[in-house]
Amino acid sequence: MLTGHGRYPYKPIVERPAWDWPNGTRLAVYVAVNIEHFPFGEGMGIPLAAAQPEPDVVNYSWRDYGNRIGIWRLLELFEDLDLPATALANAEIYNHAPQVMTAFRRRGDEVVAHGRTNAERQGQMSEADERRLISEAAATIERHEGRRPAGWMGPWVSESRATPDILQELGFSYLMDWGHDDQPVWLKTRGGRILSIPYPKPTNDLAVLHAGSMPPADWADILVDQFDEMLHQSRTHALVFNLSLHPFLVGFPFRIRQLRRALQHIASQRARLWLTHPGRIAGHAASLPPGLIA
């Protein structure tokens, strides 16, 4: 028998009971915006262009474009379409670009802890160092937002074998690193359980626009097809549709133009959706009678 993780059992969606989101809807939709900051000339960083010896000015400045320009274009688009958004925030962004987090706070959006900086991976740390990273990131957000974050997304979507255990012990109610389902799923931990909220990778802008080098118009078509098919499939089971964005990538005008088209299509169906945040998804799932969540 192969080595397993022991976090959740296999339970196909066709064998699960049906249940609804609030207001009798079956498709929950949330938009997640990765707000990231990187040190200059050191540490890890997404190579948007060919990596150069440090200091890699090309890649550093390209990523910083997202905080200076891209995020503001996205926020304007969300306002135009009256859409909620969720900030997956590196804690260091409060030092580097505090105006960004102020803008999300004014909108009433949720802030999810996303590590200290995306220049490090927690999966490569000792348990003590990982616990310190998570605690420091959560404390920074709580100091600025007035409440502790309920959710966690690892920098680089990285986990150690103990990450869900540490998060549950530190009071987090959900995480977003696992991409194994279209519904929330309970993960077992050594101290109890924690919810996994869907955060699919194949439609992520990094996967499609950067790694896949796909034209923005094709990406928008993918988002529309993903949404339309999930809305169709949700007639039998409650599902979660996530749109994951990186301002340093999708924040350029020629890409935002196509994102606008996809979001307009989604917003046109708002009467059939639950437009929300992952924390509310987790809260609703946790409130359901035992046995409904896999």
Query: Per-residue pLDDT for 133 more than 90?
Result: yes
Using CA atoms, how far apart are residues 231 and 253, in angstroms rounded to an integer?
28
Cβ–Cβ < 8 Å for 182, 202: no
pLDDT band at 256 (very low <50, low <70, confident <90, very high): very high
| Predicted local confidence at residue 47, as pLDDT | 79
| Predicted local confidence at residue 68, as pLDDT | 97
Does 288 or 50 have the greater pLDDT score?
A: 288
Does 49 or 85 have the greater pLDDT score?
A: 85
Stated as kind and residue range, the H or E segment containing 34 is strand 27-35
> Between helices 127-145 and 98-107, what is the axis angle to 10°?
60
Q: What is the mean pLDDT of the segment spanning 271-275?
A: 98
Using CA atoms, how far apart are residues 68 and 66, in angstroms rounded to an integer?
6
Q: What is the pLDDT of residues 89-120, one digit of tens each?
A: 999 999 999 999 999 999 999 999 999 999 99
* Total count of residues recorded for the chain: 294
Q: Across all residues in the chain, what is the average pLDDT? A: 95
Does 275 or 206 have the greater pLDDT score?
A: 275
% of the chain with per-residue pLDDT over 70: 99
Does 294 or 37 have the greater pLDDT score?
A: 37
Q: What is the mean pLDDT of the segment spanning 260-273?
A: 98
Cβ–Cβ < 8 Å for 187, 196: yes
pLDDT band at 213 (very low <50, low <70, confident <90, very high): confident
Question: Which pTM does this prediction carry?
Answer: 0.95
Q: What is the mean pLDDT of the segment spanning 180-202?
A: 96
pLDDT band at 211 (very low <50, low <70, confident <90, very high): low
Nearest CA to 264 out of 215, 229, 227, 209 is that of 227
Those residues with Cβ within 8 angstroms of residue 221's Cβ, 6 or more apart along the chain or in another chain: none
Q: What is the pLDDT of residues 141-176, one digit of tens each?
A: 999 999 999 999 999 999 999 999 999 999 999 999
* Residue 249 DSSP one-character state: H
Q: What is the pLDDT of residues 27-56, one digit of tens each?
A: 999 999 999 998 887 878 777 767 888 787
| Predicted local confidence at residue 209, as pLDDT | 84
Structural domains present in the chain: 21-42+51-287 (3.20.20.370)
| Predicted local confidence at residue 54, as pLDDT | 79
Q: What is the mean pLDDT of the segment spanning 231-257?
A: 96
Query: Per-residue pLDDT for 238 more than 90?
Result: yes
Query: Per-residue pLDDT for 81 more than 90?
Result: yes
